[in-house]
Chains A and B, each alone.
Chain A
């Protein structure tokens, strides 16, 4: 439920208005927090977004369906492939194109690699936010090895533009499995190190346990999804509940916790990275080596998608990521709405959770919610 912000009299001299931002240290991307503090306790928090607003939804309305494919990945910078997949999926659903099985496996592999890379970045972030710069150095370096894999698989490190409506853009390169397995082994070893250094660290425990507790009843009120929700004890994961791609053929556990504080959320993510490695190994083993990886497509230069509307969602690292698309039978889309989980995590939830915490903890709190401003503003 919405709670009105407390009325504070700034001229009373008791309060201090403090801006954290526009480059908030706790997040990947630009965002500002307007904090009203009394001492070092926060009495009011307002989130300011829009520093990365590019008007994607408008731009997509004036590009053809194939021209939209390169731009969607820019919506969430650290995690582009989920956009690529969801855009492809939503267009495929509206046109009735079915991507071949081989493409589905490669897509899953791609998405899980992305999830791992994104989590590594986050892990570095939460380490840095609580003074563990070493963890940041380790994880971002290892993320770079995953980017190397992406580079040879898709042709680019960050904006892969690989999952195209109808399939994927190319086969896996020669010898990809060995190199990928090698990286996975190194990341797995690193994760055990991080557990020792970060999760067993008494400083980290002291600072994160009890920080930013999300009460279970808040979950639906605030539309919280993903690990933030699972850390509050809910066993909800779109990969299991509404399986897409080949997730119904993969073995994995849905990780949950009950404490629902920053530590629990971090722990859930940490465990999910292990699950991700487990899934990636299955993918590497089972991805078909033969067969088509692209469905038969119409001429994309003047591709008219039949009129209709649909909503396709997937479980990204932060929760429910979805594309809602309305088409009217023309070469251009009528409306696309990108539903990013950060939208509610970074604004409504953050504004609520920050109240009562210390200034020093806002960065950590923000990272523990795992938000990406580019997907809020689009």
Chain B
């Protein structure tokens, strides 16, 4: 022991002269750091997808309905309720939150006597920290989810415009698995899908590469999976939670990824072909998606089904309205052939009202499902539209599908902004024409698929927005036609509707084309129904208004498809068919549930 060792410890006294370290008021003086992981806050952006609940390893989060909050497609109406007897403040829920609505405040003190009090619904319950602006937020450069969609290989516009080859090439297996992996399996999309397909489940089967299960899941709600995997309007993707911070999951193409990997020969083996016969029959008018869907589910239930189709081939608008670069014929056949292979009889070239009467159908069948679709082009309602060079979009598509030459010429104007207009424009491009599309509102208002709009532009169609056709005039040549159109200004609607285009009379244009293709919508044709029956049935705007289970006032008659719903797309028609099949089964005394 040295003297130094004895004296050295007294050095401690030196610190006695330092400023004290003590916090005067420890609780008030020390708020959490700006990044502190304190108590939860939830903003109005929350849609109740429940992803926070699924990542919570402590089961600290419950999804509960909140009073005064209405659910709507894309919002489940549930909100996360936290149990602070479980939470560990890892903030994984914040990191995973698909809408970035969930945050943590830097508030950290909660003391009470009641152990059951530590439950609260973040954002809606009045908590003292709700106005807190500091606290943990996910860093912009840190992700637990994959926000970018896996790109699908597609024909370039230079190539695609040259023929009718399918543009979207479909995902490879690896791509499909990667895309499916992005899904958080919240199920928000199921409510929005008109057919309520079990989207998360079949996406999971893509991820697991289990295509047999996937196919079975698809056929539970949709017998046109190959078709819908290509041309569905994919309303599901508009509400996909992944779309809030990145791209929505390519749900449509993942459906296609399943059917692309199951050859048609294996359908009967996977889906089963044991169909019984219960002795009753149902007549279906129209072999479009609605009719064939009803036929499929009715056949599965054991009904004998006869489909009456005016055209020579089945598929309806899918066949004659959708060009083959979007939906190749063989893919449509894949779906239809399987349905027919179950014993559904299709009578082609049989127009109800011409070849067979509506009454005879009612007499021969126990029930009738009507899905004739909209096959009458709407009129432009402007002067001169009866000019022979004014063609209808449907007619053009129909001719092309039947292998006929629609005779459109080299310079074409398409009027309209829907999918039929886009199809007509793109088909015309493929026939070698120079195409201008005239649409009365803005491009973002177009009802057509954004993809379609984008691709048609890429293929060289000129889109002229805010252009209102005013008059059709004969041109110098008989093979040509002149259209007069005026520019429009968008005027906000006083009643809160979407902005209206208003014609600017001083800015008129006149242009001559080889033909004008009108594609502004279609109407239905139901003259074949006797008028005394029609009186029993409810109509609105020349469309059916079906009751529960697609039933009409004429008890034996069920309706569906474009002529009975406002959405007018394939997937809605398919659901109508499925729903009607349930209804018919109920009506004919099947199971009470059905």
Contact = CB atoms under 8 A, between A and B. Distances in A.
A201 B142 contact: no
Size class of A's contact patch? 35 or more
A52 to B, nearest CB: 16
Nearest to B54: A301
Chief secondary structure at chain B's binding surface: loop
B88 A70 contact: yes
A198 B5 CA distance: 9
Contacts of A159: 88-89
A70 B9 contact: no
Interface string B5-25: 110110110110000010000
B36 A155 contact: yes
Contacts of A4: none
Given A292-B141, A298-B146, A201 B8 contact: yes
A193 B15 contact: yes
Interface string A149-164: 0011111100101000
A68 B8 CA distance: 49
Nearest to A300: B144
B399 interface: no
A299 interface: yes
Contacts of A202: 1-2, 5-6
Contact of B57 (A63, A155, A296): A63
A80 B185 CA distance: 32
A64 B4 CA distance: 58
Contacts of B37: 155-156, 161
Nearest to A145: B21
A263 to B, nearest CB: 12
A152 B182 contact: no
B92 A70 contact: yes
A16 B62 CA distance: 55
Contacts of A299: 144-146, 181-184
B35 interface: yes
Contact of A154 (B32, B35, B104): B35
B98 to A, nearest CB: 11
B139 A155 contact: no
Contacts of B139: 169-171
Interface in B295-337: none
A316 to B, nearest CB: 22
Given A70-B57, A71-B57, A156-B37, A169 B142 contact: yes
A151 B36 contact: yes
B83 to A, nearest CB: 16
B63 interface: no
A155 B105 CA distance: 11
A294 B143 contact: yes
B11 A197 contact: yes
Contacts of A289: none
A282 B156 CA distance: 52
Residue among B5, B89, B95 with most chain A CB within 10 A:
B5
A299 B246 CA distance: 13
Contacts of B2: 202
B182 A294 contact: no
A64 B58 CA distance: 12
A302 interface: yes
Contact of A297 (B5, B35, B143, B185): B143
A17 interface: no
Contacts, number: 117
Residue among B2, B9, B11 with most chain A CB within 10 A:
B9
A66 B92 contact: yes
Residue among B51, B143, B185 with most chain A CB within 10 A:
B143
A156 B36 contact: yes
A301 B55 contact: yes
Given A155-B33, A205-B5, A294-B141, A301 B184 contact: yes
A299 B150 CA distance: 13
B352 interface: no
Contact of A197 (B9, B204, B207): B9
B189 to A, nearest CB: 16
B90 interface: yes
B175 to A, nearest CB: 14
Residue among A201, A206, A301, A302 with most chain B CB within 10 A:
A301
B184 to A, nearest CB: 6
A173 B4 contact: no
A119 to B, nearest CB: 20
Contact of A151 (B33, B54, B141, B146): B33
Nearest to B4: A200
A196 B11 contact: yes
B197 interface: no
Interface of A: 63-64, 66-71, 134, 138, 141, 148, 151-156, 159, 161, 167, 169-171, 173, 193, 196-198, 200-203, 205-206, 292-294, 296-302
Given A155-B104, A201-B9, 10 more contacts: A66-B144, A67-B92, A70-B57, A70-B88, A138-B15, A141-B21, A161-B37, A169-B95, A299-B146, A301-B96
19 contacts: A63-B57, A64-B57, A67-B92, A69-B90, A134-B12, A148-B33, A155-B104, A171-B141, A173-B34, A193-B11, A197-B9, A200-B5, A200-B8, A201-B8, A292-B141, A293-B142, A299-B183, A300-B144, A301-B184
